[in-house]
Amino acid sequence: MTSSPITQHSKSVSPKHVLLSGIFSVTSAMRKNSRWSSLPFYMAPKDYSSLGTNMGLRISSPSQVARPVGRTSKEVELMLGFIQLKRSVSDMEDVSQTELPSILAPFFAILRSPLSTGPITSAALTALHNFFLGGLILPTSLRLSAALSELSNTVSQCKFEASDSSGDEVVLLKIMAVIQDCLCGPVGRSLGDVEVCEVLEAVLTTCCQMRLSEILRRSAENTMHALVRTVFGTLRTLDPEVEEAKLNVNGVDDNEGELKMSVQSALISNDESGRASSDNGSQQLTEERKEPPDAPAVPTSHLEYGLPSILELLRVLFNVLDPSDQQHTDSTRLVALGILNAAFEEAGSSISLFPSLKTLVVDTGCKFLFQLARSENLSVLQSALHTISTIFVTMRKHLKLQHELFLAFSIDRLALPVSTTANKSQISTSAAVQRPGTPAGSHNISLEDRVSSPSSKVIAPPARGETRDLILETLGNISGYPSFMVDLYANYDCNVNCENIFERLVDFLTKNIQPATHISSQDPQQKNAQYLCLELLLSFVNDMASRANGDYEYWPSVYPTVQSLLQTKSQKQLVLTGAARFNSKPKSGIAFLEENRLIYTDLSPDISKAQSLAQFLKNCPRIDKTLLGDFISKPDNIEVLKAFIGLFDFKGKPVADAMRELLESFRLPGESQQIARITETFASIYFASDPVEIKNEDAVYVLAYSVIMLNTDLHNPQVRKRMSLEDYQKNLRGVNGGSDFSPEFLQNIYESIRKKEIVMPEEHTGQLGFEYAWKELLLRSKQSGEYMMCNSSLFDIEMFKTVWKPTISAIAHAFISFDDDYIIQKAIVGFRQCATLAGHFQLRDVFDFVVVSLSQATSLLSDAVPAHIPNYLVIDIEGQSVTISKLSVEFGRNFKGQLAAVVLFNIVNGNGNALREGWTQIFEMFQNLFLHSLLPIRMLQMEDFLGGVTMIPLRGNQPNSVPVRNDGGLLSTLSSYLITPYSSTDDVSDATEADIENTLCSIDCIASCRLDEFYSQIIQLEPDALAAAVRALEALAHERTVARLKLQSDDTEPSGSSSYQLPYDPAPVFLLETMVSISCQAPAYIEDLWPIVFEHLSALLSTSSQYSALLIERAVVSLLRLCRILAKNPSLRDQIYVSFDLLAGLPPPIASSVSEQIVAGVKLIAEQHREIISSQTEWNLVVALLRTTVPHPEASKSAYSLISLVILDGPEQNVSPDNFPGLLTLLDDFATLASSLTENQRHKGRRAEPLTSSKFFPFVERGKKSIDLVAHLHRVLLRWNAVTLARSQIWRQLALPLLMTLSRQSTNSAREIRHSAISYLQRILLGPNILPVEIDHSHVEDIFNRVIFPLLDELLKPHVYQRDPHGIPESRLRASALLCKVFMHLEARENNVKSDFRLLWIQILDLLDRLMNIDQDDQLYEAIPESLKNILLVMNAIGILVPPTTGEDLREERQKTLWTATQERMERFLPGFLTEVIPNQMVSTNRQEVS
């Protein structure tokens, strides 16, 4: 109630008037009743003594005055009280000066009187209600506390005669209204604890009366909620220390009679008189009150209410929740749960400030609430879960292990059932023992197992239907704050003694979002569960993303350090593994623990191995207690047993409590010898603590045994006759050092065991097991500390590493499976946040997984991309060619796929550096889009050395036209982003309007993905990401080429096909072009990318004949494009020659088909990077590569241009001894090619075409120019310094090959080339310098033997003659002339008179003989004698060839020999010619000249 109504009434109507109105209403109601109807309106007590005395009269003895007796006197007194009150206040101006108890006394009397009826009581209550509202009862009223104390007692025990049920319930409603006025109004704080307990008990009992109407009970509940909120709201203003001191000083037990509340909902019949009361149908609520019902209550305390009453109310409410208490039904528990929820909502965290309240909540409250959380009554379950969530929200810091228990058990219940049969049996058992209206007993649900062992995974009865939804909703309420998951991880997952609640919760959420079994879309409850789980999961991701963006808290210094917690987390799995191994095989477990430094690391002079091991075994809750008891009691482990028991502190503890503490830490083994070892060790250690009244260790030993036996005897259900105290005392006579224990000592032991059984671990189930497990939980709670709460980001990376994969998978499943727009939007946000977190934590695997998950949702990934591309329909819309394909139509219909694509590329745009494995999916989508003509134009192009930029063809034939469709406005502006460069002339089916519209939707979606922008970002990636992208491309290309070829080859091998060729597939071309384009645009990282790309190119080119021509051509171009990049990197230039060598090894047909590309690429490299080709090996590779292109018409042109450039442009720099042989070889090839083409033409029998024919002219002209370049090379050769080059090197490697080349080409089938070669050869040989140095005799021999003689031998061959029958004779003539001139120039010289060249001369004569006689009609027949004549004359003139004389022969021996040989040889073809040329008369002349 507020004070505003009171103020208003006090201003308009005086309190006196309110009081008189109340008196009038009550007395009027009383006079309507037969008991008071005959009484006069003016009454007074017949007490004449005072009046007579005042008048001076003598009054007779009182015995002479007749007084009404019995019931009539009570009725009169009730009415007289109101009359006297009215008389006493009639003359008062201010009734507030009157003591409040005096004013209210008549009203209280009528309320307490059993004579009152419902209407009278109702009038009295209405009057009291008006007194509160009218300002009569105020905080300033005199003796307010006494009045309120009497009011609370009166109202709580209000009695009246029952009439009709509706009227009676009106009275009860008014009672609650007065109570609410009293407690919730301005005077409420004047009530004491006893008074508050009374009124609360009255209202609470009304709430629980099931025979009352629903409206009344609900009204009572509302009143109770208001009262409780008022009472618990005072906790925010109370001083905890003062209130707790009040409890400690006064003691709750001292006032137990006054403060103790109780609730009874059992129904009983009315008493014989038919009277009714406010607690009608209930037992006396305040049992300890002994005052008569109509006697006024005497206040016992005038202090304001506080903690004592609140504590008592909380105790009563919690006790109502006890499932084992059969007197309370589920309806009563529902009332209590609602009140508790209101109390905790109002008090908030203030409850935890009061230790007494906190202890009650932590123990009793949580214990009963958790048991109700298993109820099969949905109403009870809902209220219990609601209250639990409220308690956790307000007191989570103090409920660490309770919080863990609830979460673990909830997850167990929500988990899908393992065995349907087991579940049915479990449920049926529960139903058999369940009392109607109450939850199942604890032995039917495995909560005690969950409490007792954090490592146990006992399957709880699975929650189904609404139960499942309620638990999930509760989890959502509990987790409704940002640091929820962080707190779980820090408190539980980083605690060895706790479960991995965070991991379990996320695992549960993800598995329920994407269950292993198919969920029918018609199952709304399952869908609802999926939605709830998804909400929880996405909240976790969102909170972590917020912390990553800076919205986090600093880790408090009072908490353990984050590093220590994370270290504990890292060791936790080792501890669990070690415990599991110990439970399986102790020796193996100990070895594992020692190996991983979990034991024996704290060894010191004070700590032994046994103590270190015992410490671990005692503190590790994962150790099997049965196995532990068996292990420590073995003879080999006696030291461990001593160390284990030595860890307990028995100082000051009775022997029963000490044994209880010991036996509850492990399961006592069954073997007597093992029990004896334990009790002996216990006796020794316990006696060392100096216990009271025990004289020696033997006495402790006997007592220990007696405690074990007594516990079994008193609590074993199979024992029918229980041991009495006398029997127990009798059994222990004389065992205390020969004397007896005192009766009180043994009685205390006996009572301790009788009242509370020693429950050994894993010994009991059901309620007893639960009680033991709960006790263990409370014990652990004292050691575990408070629940740490902090929205810190320091754990996020470890948390995210643990759960990212199932989290993303679950989000992806939700995105694909759910149809709700809100869920889809949330899933999209979840994807973005996961990607952001992956980048923030630099977890590339996570980012990849996000990309993979989204890419699978796009439907752009196909299981098998067809090698043969169908002829898709291409239409023209607003001048744009659009391809209608199956993918474009289906993708346009798939709205989720479009969403996924847009989200995917929005995520990867700008985040390419985080991608690794996800590139495969990205490029696989690109490949699929390419094959369906849905990629941007920029990504469809391929660069060429010859034709610039061209489009990658989907098929071999290109169409010429497309059908035109003018549908204005259908194509959006985004659609112009894409065009389709492919079309088909083949007949294809027409597309529907829906197909066209869906295709346009696909185009718009792809435009929104900004693929070209993403593609342009790839070249700006960091090295690792860029290499991953190229590697993904290579893998996809490998799968479409090398892997497919191997598969096809294996399939066709049995049929004998050893040269299988894959058909044209545009996908590998697209992937190759993309791979190379990226690599070329990132030259800074070519060192990382080159090995990846070259591996693929090498695989293609090494089996080039088995792939399509276009693919091999693109591989060649790609390789040379990369070589241009390699040329800029000195460390990779050797790879250029590896590439050249690979290209040079192509099969001739393949080399011919790609020769134009090869030459163009090599030319660009040579022109832009001349310095990279310097060594002889490098030039040999280039030459070998260029030689393969010589036969190609266009390629040879480019190759010749390159050679010309090298030779003619700065010879000092470009031509060197390293490239000289190679250049010479290439020029020789050009000339030889012209010869072959000319000869082939003649052999075909066609009419000889002139050498200037357009068909042959380029080759012949190029061959002639090649001879010119050969001659130029000789001029270059003459410029080189002989000092830097060895004499032999100049001749053998440079000059002689050049002369031999001219010699070979002097027999060329092309006449112009032949004549040019002979001319240049003659010019060089007859020139002043053949070499940069003087030639010697060996050089001359090489000239004749390897240059001139082979030339003449070749010309003399018949097939050579057939090459050009009209021109060869002339060539022979010129060659013979050359022979003679060179001989005269090099050998027939004055300085060479003494040289012996007889063999050479004879060879010359042989050749001249052959030339002269090959055709006597030829010009040679006449020309050779003339040439020979000149030689003879010269030789004679210089004294080389001297004829004999008639007299003394003065010639030298060589002259004689030469003359004789010459004469003999010439006589064969020119008899007498020698003597004719050198006559005898000239002999004397010559002789004289010689002398």
Q: What is the pLDDT of residue 50?
A: 54
Q: In this predicted model, what pLDDT tens digit does every residue of 804-828 receive, in sequence order?
A: 999 999 999 888 888 888 888 889 9
Q: In this predicted model, what pLDDT tens digit does every residue of 1294-1353 receive, in sequence order?
A: 888 999 999 999 999 888 899 999 999 998 888 888 877 777 878 888 888 899 889 888
Lowest mean pLDDT among 640-654, 836-850, 1276-1290, 1431-1445: 1276-1290
Is the CB of residue 861 less than 8 Å from the CB of residue 921?
A: yes
pLDDT grade, residue 1210 (50/70/90)? low
Lowest mean pLDDT among 860-869, 989-998, 1119-1128, 1394-1403: 860-869
Task: Tell me the CA distances in angstroms from 142 to 94, 190, 974, 1297, one per residue in order.
Answer: 12, 12, 86, 139
* Mean pLDDT for the stretch of residues 725-738: 88
Contacts of 600 (CB under 8 A, 6+ apart): 594, 609, 612, 613
pLDDT grade, residue 1053 (50/70/90)? low
Q: What is the pLDDT of residue 151?
A: 86
Q: What is the pLDDT of residue 505?
A: 93
pLDDT grade, residue 1487 (50/70/90)? very low
* pLDDT tops 50 at residue 867: yes
Q: In this predicted model, what pLDDT tens digit does every residue of 164-185 receive, in sequence order?
A: 777 788 888 888 888 888 889 8
The label of the residue with tokens 């798939």 reads: 894
Q: What is the CB neighbour count within 10 angstroms for residue 1047?
A: 10
Please indicate whether residue 78 or residue 419 has the higher confidence score (pLDDT). Answer: 78
Rounded percentage of the chain residues whose pLDDT exceeds 70? 82
pLDDT grade, residue 342 (50/70/90)? very high
Is the CB of residue 1475 less than 8 Å from the CB of residue 1443?
A: yes
What does the alpha-carbon distance between residue 340 and residue 390 come to, in Å, rounded to a whole number? 9
Q: What is the pLDDT of residue 406?
A: 92
Q: What is the pLDDT of residue 549?
A: 92
* Mean pLDDT for the stretch of residues 1172-1185: 82
* pLDDT tops 50 at residue 669: yes
Rounded percentage of the chain residues whose pLDDT exceeds 90? 22
Q: What is the pLDDT of residue 1244?
A: 63
pLDDT averaged over the chain? 80
pLDDT grade, residue 89 (50/70/90)? confident
Please indicate whether residue 1249 or residue 750 has the higher confidence score (pLDDT). Answer: 750
Contacts of 1293 (CB under 8 A, 6+ apart): 1217, 1220, 1221
pLDDT grade, residue 773 (50/70/90)? confident
Q: In this predicted model, what pLDDT tens digit does every residue of 496-544 receive, in sequence order?
A: 888 999 999 999 999 988 876 655 555 777 888 888 899 999 999 999 9
What does the alpha-carbon distance between residue 211 and residue 628 come to, in Å, rounded to a whole number? 56
Q: In this predicted model, what pLDDT tens digit does every residue of 407-459 receive, in sequence order?
A: 999 998 888 654 433 333 333 333 333 323 333 333 333 454 455 444 344 34
Which residues are bridge partners to 941 per DSSP?
951
Q: What is the pLDDT of residue 1387?
A: 79
* pLDDT tops 50 at residue 751: yes
H-assigned helices in 1332-1417: 1337-1343, 1349-1355, 1358-1363, 1368-1386, 1398-1413
Conformational region of residue 240, where left means phi above 0, alpha means psi within -120 to 50, and beta covers everything else: alpha
Contacts of 26 (CB under 8 A, 6+ apart): 82, 106, 107, 110, 120, 123, 124, 127
Q: What is the pLDDT of residue 1429?
A: 86
* Mean pLDDT for the stretch of residues 124-131: 88
* pLDDT tops 50 at residue 267: no
* Mean pLDDT for the stretch of residues 311-330: 90
* Mean pLDDT for the stretch of residues 131-141: 86
* pLDDT tops 70 at residue 972: no
Q: What is the pLDDT of residue 66?
A: 43
Query: Which span out of 592-601, 609-618, 798-807, 1176-1185 was modeled with the highest average pLDDT?
Result: 798-807
Scored b (16 or more CB within 10 A) or e, 276-306 reads: bbbbbbbeebbeebeeeebebbebebeeebb
What does the alpha-carbon distance between residue 513 and residue 817 come to, in Å, rounded to a whole number? 10
Q: What is the pLDDT of residue 792?
A: 94
Lowest mean pLDDT among 391-405, 764-778, 1110-1124, 1294-1308: 764-778
Q: What is the pLDDT of residue 844?
A: 86
Question: Under DSSP, is residue 917 helix (H, G, I), strand (E, B) or coil?
Answer: coil
Q: What is the pLDDT of residue 1029?
A: 93
Q: What is the pLDDT of residue 1204?
A: 86
Contacts of 1102 (CB under 8 A, 6+ apart): 1142
pLDDT grade, residue 956 (50/70/90)? low
Lowest mean pLDDT among 668-682, 830-844, 1375-1389: 1375-1389
Q: What is the pLDDT of residue 645?
A: 92
Q: What is the pLDDT of residue 989?
A: 58
Q: What is the CB neighbour count within 10 angstroms for residue 33?
A: 15
pLDDT grade, residue 345 (50/70/90)? very high
CA atoms within 13 A on the CB side of 342: 19
Task: Tell me the CA distances in angstroms from 492 to 407, 489, 536, 714, one per residue in order.
Answer: 11, 6, 19, 39
Q: In this predicted model, what pLDDT tens digit does every residue of 203-239 receive, in sequence order?
A: 888 888 888 888 888 999 999 999 999 999 999 999 9
* Mean pLDDT for the stretch of residues 234-252: 81
Query: Which span out of 286-290, 398-402, 979-983 was modeled with the highest average pLDDT?
Result: 398-402
pLDDT grade, residue 980 (50/70/90)? very low
Q: What is the pLDDT of residue 258?
A: 52
Q: In this predicted model, what pLDDT tens digit does every residue of 1379-1398 receive, in sequence order?
A: 888 888 887 776 666 677 78
Is the CB of residue 232 less than 8 Å from the CB of residue 347?
A: yes
Q: In this predicted model, what pLDDT tens digit does every residue of 912-945 receive, in sequence order?
A: 888 888 999 999 999 999 888 888 887 877 777 6
Q: What is the pLDDT of residue 945?
A: 66
* pLDDT tops 60 at residue 758: yes
What does the alpha-carbon distance between residue 924 and residue 918 come to, in Å, rounded to a whole number? 10
Q: What is the pLDDT of residue 285?
A: 33
CA atoms within 13 A on the CB side of 860: 37
Helix axis angle for 1296-1305 and 1220-1243, nearest 10°, is 10
The label of the residue with tokens 């889809």 reads: 824
* Mean pLDDT for the stretch of residues 310-335: 90
Amino acid type, 914: A
Q: What is the pLDDT of residue 1197?
A: 85
* Mean pLDDT for the stretch of residues 480-509: 92
pLDDT grade, residue 311 (50/70/90)? very high
